[in-house]
Amino acid sequence: MSKKIIIALLLCAGLYALGDKPQDTPDAGSSAPAVSRPPRSAQPPIEELNADQLYIRAYEEHNSAQRMNYRGQNLKAIAALELFQNKYVDDDRKFELMYFLSLDYAKNIQPAERAAVVEKYFTEAPSDNSVYENMRLERLGAYAGMRNTVSASALYTELSEQYATHNLILAGIHRDALPVLESSGDIDGCRKIYSFFRESKNRKYLNLERDYYIYTYKLALLEHNAGNLLAAAPLFKEVADQKNTPVLAMFAESAEYYLQNIEDNRQ
């Protein structure tokens, strides 16, 4: 494999570390109770709050954490949510807050803690709980974050069938599962996901517009390596045309290399 191709693949892996993952799970259907409270600056320490007050504070801190890209706010939200779990163990609202806690652990890049709270939820929560389906989707992300390939692959198959006609949710399922499928060498699964995001109706669900061309490049590689050169050529051409887009320049250069090889083999 040439140096250009290796660099492009390394760049491809690195780009996915950028940006925040959007939330595509169904709405938990929760809202903070209408309880009067003092201005935020005048609120007492969270350790002194009763159950209702702490629930509201945790809810607000979580919402702020999800809107911001600030580790300090992530930690404030996590602290409030964890305190509710530890202090009010018999309050059923803890299950809803477990979902929020999982999201905040994910945003703060704490995969082990995320996996632990998700599994605790499924150990303790009834199946008719309001966030049960949300947590099934979170479980896939937790499995993927811990590189639990077997469990992630099995749950991915189940969820992708269940939400086959709900493209918004399905896009999130695909995004969560893709790193696991790629690392395990699941060619058919990867081809399915790359092709999904290349459909015009699904392009809006991409994290970033450049992901369209990255998935196109990866799909072209799959086709090329399978010997499907006629299928690979137009995909490489689409990426090669992005040579004037700085963040895609290396992919474009690599795609041009493959196109030249395909053309040489035709002669």
- pTM (global) more than 0.85: no
Check pLDDT > 50 for residue 22.
Answer: no
**pLDDT value of position 32:** 52
Q: How far is CA 9 from the centre of its chain?
A: 20
Q: What is the largest CA-CA distance in the chain?
A: 78
**pLDDT value of position 44:** 83
Check pLDDT > 70 for residue 28.
Answer: no
8-35 core/surface letters (b: 16 or more CB in 10 A; e: else): bbebbeebbeeeeeeebbeebebeeeee
Q: Which domains does the chain have, with CATH numbers?
A: 1-19+207-267 (no CATH), 27-146 (1.25.40)
**pLDDT value of position 12:** 54
Q: Model confidence over 136-187: pLDDT tens digits? A: 999 999 999 999 999 999 999 999 999 999 999 999 999 999 999 999 999 9
Structural contact between residues 164 and 141, judged by C-beta atoms closer than 8 angstroms: no
Q: Model confidence over 49-72: pLDDT tens digits? A: 999 999 999 999 999 999 998 999
Nearest to 160 by CA among 144, 178, 174, 180: 174
Angle between helix 187-198 and 210-225 (nearest 10)? 140
Identify residue 198 by its one-letter amino acid code.
R
Q: Model confidence over 191-219: pLDDT tens digits? A: 999 999 999 999 999 999 999 999 999 99
Instruction: For residue 39, name the pLDDT band (cuts at 50, 70, 90).
Output: low
Compute the distance between CA of residue 175 and CA of residue 211 in angstroms, rounded to an integer: 11
Count of helix runs (H) and strand runs (E) in the chain: 12, 0
> Considering the chain, what is the average pLDDT of its residues?
88
Compute the distance between CA of residue 267 and CA of residue 264 in angstroms, rounded to an integer: 5
Compute the distance between CA of residue 216 and CA of residue 116 in angstroms, rounded to an integer: 35
Structural contact between residues 4 and 253, judged by C-beta atoms closer than 8 angstroms: yes
Identify residue 122 by its one-letter amino acid code.
F
